A = this chain, B = another copy of it.
Amino acid sequence: MTRLAVADDSLFGLANLPYGAYSVPGAEPRIGTRYGDHVVDLALLLDDHVFARPTLNAFMAQGHDRWVAVRERLVEAVAGDVPDRAVHPAGAVTLHLPFEVADYVDFYASEHHASNLGRLFRPDSPEPLLPNWKHLPVGYHGRSASIVVSGTDIVRPAGQRKNPQDPAPLFGPSTKLDIEAELGFVVGTGNPMGEPIPVEDAEHHIFGVVLFNDWSARDIQAWEYVPLGPNLGKSFASTVSPWVVPLLALGPARVPTPTQEPAVLPYLALEEPWGLEIDVEVEWNGEVVSRPPYASMYWSPAQMLAHLTVNGAPTRTGDLFASGTISGPERDQRGAFIELTWGGREPVTVAGAQRTFLEDGDEVVLRASAPGSGGARIGFGEARGRILASKFIGTEG
Contacts and interface: CB of A to CB of B under 8 A. Distances in A.
Nearest to A227: B130
Interface stretch (A16-24, A36-44, A278-286, A309-317): A309-317
Interface of A is mostly: loop
Contact of A315 (B102, B145, B229): B145
Q: Which of A103, A121, A190, A266 has the most CB of B within 10 A?
A: A103
A230 B313 CA distance: 14
A313 B143 contact: yes
Given A144-B102, A148-B193, A171-B265, A312 B155 contact: yes
A232 B171 contact: no
Contacts of A121: 227
- Interface size on A, as a range, is 35 or more
Given A103-B144, A108-B228, A141-B143, A217 B168 contact: no
Contact of A103 (B143, B227, B233, B316): B143
A159 interface: yes
Nearest to A217: B311
B262 A168 contact: yes
As for how many copies of this chain the complex holds, the number is 2
A332 interface: no
A132 B232 contact: no
A342 interface: no
A243 B168 CA distance: 41
A301 to B, nearest CB: 16
A236 interface: yes
A304 B78 CA distance: 51
A313 B132 contact: no
Contacts of A230: 228-229
Interface in A139-156: 139-146, 148, 155
Interface in A110-157: 121, 130-132, 135-136, 138-146, 148, 155, 157
28 contacts: A102-B144, A105-B231, A108-B228, A121-B227, A132-B160, A136-B169, A139-B231, A140-B140, A140-B228, A140-B231, A143-B313, A145-B190, A146-B193, A146-B314, A148-B193, A155-B193, A155-B194, A157-B311, A157-B312, A158-B312, A159-B310, A160-B265, A217-B311, A220-B311, A235-B313, A236-B312, A236-B313, A265-B395
